[in-house]
Amino acid sequence: MFDIDQISNAAAEFTGESLEDARRRLGNRSRYDHLIPDAGWSGQALLESTLLSALGATTGGERPFGIREAKITDHGLDLRVERAEDVRALLDLLPLRTKRGPWQGVRELTAQPVRTRLRFGFREWVYNAEGYGRSPAPVVRVAGPHGVDLEVLLAAHRKQTESSGHTVRWDPQDTEPRPKRQEPVARSLVRQLGASSAIGSRLLRRPRLWDCLAGYAGVHLSTHITDYGLDWTLERRVAGPHFDHERLLAVLTDPVVGYGLAALDHLCSTEECTIRAVHPGRWNSRGVLTVRSRQAPITAEPPRPTLPLTMLGERRRISRPRAQQQSGPVETDRSGAVLQLLGDGGRDQLVWVAERIAAAWAAEGLVTAVVAARAHEGFGLRDRSRPDWATASSPASEAGWQRLRVVSPPGQLWLREPARSAGPVASTVAEARRFADRVLLVSRDSDYFLEEAEYTQLADVRLLVREASRYQRHLALPPSSLGAAGAVALTPAESAIAWRQKNWSYETAHLPVTGLLLLPRADEDEALDEFDHAVEEQLARYGTPVLGRFPDHGSIVRGRSHSMHPPTVLDPESAPSAHARMVKAAADLARRLWPELLAGTRTTPPDKGHR
C-alpha cells in the first residue's frame, strides 16, 4: 500500500542522507506519519540548537549551514559538514576558562574524538537537572570532509587555547560541577535556546530543504531574545526573480516530512518575501521562525535549478516544478461526499476510525479529508520551557490542513481540526467538499444530542459506530427451584430488538442516522451465518442497516514516543492480512454508501490543470 522508495526519497531530500540509509531507517518504523522524527527529549533538542547557532552563522559554504547530511540515529544525530571551517565554528563554542577567571564559550558543552568523528554532548546537570538520571545523554556526532582529521583539529584547538594561558573545560572525562549561581541570560546561550530549542532542532534535522528551492544562493540564521521567548530568523538569498514561497510554505507547515509549523503571516513583494510561523502546542517552542527571502546580487553564474520535492507529488528528472505548489490541498470544486461518524466511544476512537478509512481510500487514488472538531482542552501542565524573563504570551496560530501521509499520486490524505463550534466546522467541511472526493467528519467528543444536532445538515451520510459483537441467540433464565437455569432461544427479530436496546442510547435515538458501522476485533472471524444475516435484515427494517464493518484498531496509546495517528494501509503491516482487511472493508463500505460509483477509482490526477 505504500511505496518505500517514495517515502525514502521524500525524507532524504531534506536530510541529505543516502537513499539506502533512509530506507534502512524507515524500515524500522511502525508508522510513516513522521518520516523525520523530532528529538526524543528536550536535552537532545537543546544540544542540536546549540550547534546550529554556530553553523547557521557561517558563510561561504556550498550547502545550507555547511551541512551535507543530517542522519537520525538511535543515539541522537549524525552530521557531516562540508568544510574544516564549519568544524572550527563548532569548536569555537567549546568552554574554556581565561587567565583572569571568566568563562568563554558554552559552559555546558563537551566534545571528544570518537574514531573519525567528534562527539558533542552536555554536562549531566543540563539534561538531568534533578539528578535522578531519567533522561539519556544527548549526542551529536560530527564528521568532516574527506581527508580532514577532526581529532587533529580538536588537538590544535586545545593547543591554541592552552598556549594563550586559558584552561580547557570541554573534556567529558573531567569533572565539572554545576555552577552555584545561574548565569545571566545574556551570557548563557543554553538558557536562551531552551525557550525554543524544538524549532532549532527541526531546522538542523532538515538542512537540505533550502538548496531544493528555486535559486538557492545561501542562508544565514540568527536568534534574538523576545519578551515571550526566543525567535529564529533565517535570511535566505535567492538568485533570480522566483522566491518559491508557496513550496516553502508547504514544507514549513507539513508535519510528515516538513517542519510541522503553523503560519502566522505571509507577505511578499517583488523585492522580498517574509513568512512567519510558530510551532503550535509544543514545549520548547516559545518563539517565531521568520524566513525572509531576498534577491541575491546578480552574478555571471546561472542560478541553481529547482529540485523536485517528492512530498509535494513532484516528479524527478525535471528542471523545475510545473507550477508553484500551494501550502494546502488544491481546490477543484469536486463536491465531495461527507460521511459523519457518531458514537459514544470517545472522540479519539472516531478520529482513528476516520483516518484509517480515509487512508484506504487515498491508497486507491482518491483525495480524502478528515475534519475532526478540536478536542476539549482541559487543564494543561505548566510549560516548563517558559523562560523566567518572559512577560508575554507566545504568539499562536491555528494549524491549517495537515498532510497525514505521503501518498502515491493521485491519492492524497488530509486532516484539519477546527475549533469546537458550528461555524468553524461548517466552513472547514465546505472547503473539504471542494477539494476532496470524500470527507469524513467527526464533530464532537461524544454524541450528545444538543451538540450533534447542529451538524445534521453538514453531512450526506451519518453512521453510528459501535463495537461488533455476536448477536444474542438465547435469553438466559434464572434458576428455578426445581433445577438448573435454562435459556430461551431468540428469533432474529427478538435478537435485533435486544441489540438496539443495548447499543442505542437516548441521545442517538434522537439523531438521524443512515446506518451502522461495526468494528469487529482484528482477531475475530468476520464470517456471518444465516442467523446473523437474518438479524441484520431486521435491523434494516428498523431503519438502522449495517452498512459496513471495519477492523478495530484496539486500544489507543497516548504519550511521548507514541504516534498521534493509528496504523493505516499506508504504514507497515501491523498484523497478517491487516492491510487486505482494511482495503476490503473500506471498499465494501463505499459500495454500500454509493452503489452508483466504483469505489476508489480515478483516471486523471486530482490537480491536473492546476499546475
Residue 323 within a domain: no
Q: Are residues 277 and 349 in the same domain?
A: no
Q: What is the CATH number of the domain that holds 525?
A: 3.40.50.300
User: Do 241 and 227 contact (CB within 8 A), yes or no?
Assistant: no
Give the best-scoring range by mean pLDDT among 122-136, 138-152, 337-351, 454-468.
138-152
Within a domain: residue 214? yes
pLDDT at res. 9: 96
pLDDT per residue as tens digits for the range 396-453: 888 899 999 999 999 999 999 998 888 899 999 999 999 999 999 998 654 455 455 6
345 or 572, which is more confident? 572
Residue 409's CB: how many other CB atoms inside 10 A? 14
Tell me, yes or no, whether 343 and 401 share the same domain.
Answer: yes
**Same domain flag for 281 and 341:** no
Identify the pLDDT of residue 261.
Answer: 95
Number of domains in the chain: 2
C-alpha cell at 18: 543516502
The predicted structure's pLDDT at residue 318: 41
Which position has the higher pLDDT, 316 or 49?
49
Domain residue limits at 529: 337-377+390-477+486-596
- pLDDT confidence tier of residue 322, bands split at 50, 70 and 90: very low
* 3-class SS of residue 220: strand
For residues 362 and 356, what is the distance between their CA atoms, to the nearest angstrom? 10
Same domain, 289 and 343: no
Do 271 and 357 reside in the same domain of the chain?
Answer: no
Does residue 368 lie in a domain region? yes
Sign of torsion over alpha carbons 405, 410, 411, 417: positive
Both 271 and 354 in one domain: the answer is no
Residue 242 belongs to a domain: yes
**Cα–Cα distance between 399 and 411 in angstroms, integer?**
22
Distance CA 48, CA 200 (A): 7
Domain-ending residue, one of 271, 295, 319: 295
Q: Among 115, 86, 113, 91, which Cα is nearest to 104's?
A: 91
Question: 266 with 371, same domain?
Answer: no
Query: What is the four-CA torsion angle of 279, 238, 7, 554, rounded to 10 degrees?
Result: 10
**Domain boundary pick from 230, 264, 295:** 295
Same domain, 68 and 201: yes
- Residue 419 belongs to a domain: yes
Residue 2 located in a structural domain: no
- Which has more pLDDT, 455 or 145? 145
Q: Alpha-carbon distance 59 to 65, whole Å?
A: 8
CA Rg, the chain, in Å? 28
Contact 48, 121 (CB under 8 A): no
% of residues, the chain, pLDDT over 90? 60
Are 45 and 158 within one domain? Answer: yes
C-alpha separations of 340 from 442, 447, 456, 517 in Å = 6, 11, 9, 11
Q: Which of 274, 295, 316 is the last residue of a domain?
A: 295
Residue-wise pLDDT tens digits, 259-273: 999 999 999 998 999
Total-model pTM: 0.89
With respect to residue 309, please indicate whether it lies within any of the assigned structural domains. no
- Read off the pLDDT band of 326 (50, 70, 90): low
Query: 281 and 351, same structural domain?
Result: no
Whether 458 is covered by a domain: the verdict is yes
Top pLDDT among 14 and 509 is at 14
What are the tens digits of pLDDT across the range 476-515? Answer: 887 765 556 678 899 999 999 999 888 876 556 667 889 9
Identify whether residues 495 and 399 lie together within a single domain: yes
For residues 353 and 417, membership in a common domain is answered with yes
